[in-house]
Every structure is written in C-alpha cells, then in structure tokens.
C-alpha cells in the first residue's frame, strides 16, 4: 500500500501502484493516438480485453469512475487521456472525485484565491 497515511485523499503512485495499474495505464497511454481512441469507442470490450485489464479495472473503466480507476492502479496523467475521449478535463474529473458539481468545484478553486 502506498504511504499516504498523513495525506488524506491522496494515493502516491509508487512501485506498488505502478505494478497493479500497468495494464490499465498502458491502455490509457495508447490513447495518445487518435486511431486508438477511435478503436476504443468502436468496441470498448474488445479494446479492454486486448490490454488485459483485470475485472476491477474493466469495471472502473465501464463506470468512468476516476476514484475507482485510481484504486485499480491508474495514474492520473494516463487517466487524463481516457477522460479526454469524453471531452472531460481536469476540472470535470476533480468535481467527480470530490463529489461536487463542476460549478461548485470551480467555485471552490476561485475561493482559494482569497
């Protein structure tokens, strides 16, 4: 388990996570290519099978659930490319992870300016 006892809501992406998440992150890395993104959209099951995702990873992809993807070993830099397929940016995924609306999440960021 990653050493995050004193930083709530945070997973350090270390060797344990990197091993656990290798297949998932490899699939997300492939989304650098527009061709691969199109292939994923065409047949999501086949694409996930090609990369050998485990059941937890497959379910998290299916649910588009960022916290579940991180729990399954996903690294946010690669996951951001997955989110990009659906036109979602880091504020959208920030809102999802914190259980806020995107507007509320953006407002929270603006408040941190003061």
Partner 1 sequence: MARIIGGLGTSHVPAIGAAIVKGLQNDPYWKPFFDGFPPVREWLSREKPDVCVIFYNDHGLNFFLDNLPTFAVGAAKEYTSEDEGWGLPIKPPYPGDPDLSWHIIESLVADEFDVATCQQVKVDHAFVNPMELFWPGDGRPVRFVPVLINTVQHPLPSARRCYKLGQAVGRAIDSYPKDLKVVVLGTGGLSHQLDGERAGFINKDFDKLCLDALVSDPEALLGYSTHDLVKLAGTQGVEILNWIAMRGALTGRVSQLHRNYHVPISNTASGLLLLENKPALAKAA
Which positions touch partner 1 (CB under 8 A)? 2-3, 6-15, 18, 22, 25-26, 28-29, 31-32, 34, 37, 66-67, 70, 75-82, 84-85, 89-91, 93-94, 97-98, 105, 108-110, 112-113
Quick one: angle between helices 76-85 and 90-98, nearest 10?
110
Nearest to 46 by CA among 36, 34, 32: 36
Residues 6+ apart with CB under 8 A from 71: 11, 56, 60
CB of 29 to partner 1, least distance (A): 5
CB of 58 to partner 1, least distance (A): 19
CB of 83 to partner 1, least distance (A): 9
CB of 45 to partner 1, least distance (A): 21
**Could you tell me the two tokens for 50?**
């090609």
Choice between 5 and 55, CB closer to partner 1 = 5
């Amino acid at each position: 388990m990653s050493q995050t006892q004193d930083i709530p809501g945070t997973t350090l992406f270390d060797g344990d996570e990197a091993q656990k998440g290798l297949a998932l992150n490899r699939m997300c890395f492939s989304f650098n290519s527009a061709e691969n993104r199109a292939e994923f959209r065409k047949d999501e099951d086949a694409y996930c099978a090609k990369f050998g995702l485990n059941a937890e990873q497959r379910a998290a992809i299916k649910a588009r659930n960022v916290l579940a993807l991180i729990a399954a070993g996903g690294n946010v830099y690669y996951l951001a490319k997955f989110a990009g397929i659906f036109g979602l940016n880091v504020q959208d995924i920030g809102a999802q992870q914190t259980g806020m609306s995107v507007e509320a999440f953006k407002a929270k960021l603006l408040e941190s300016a003061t």
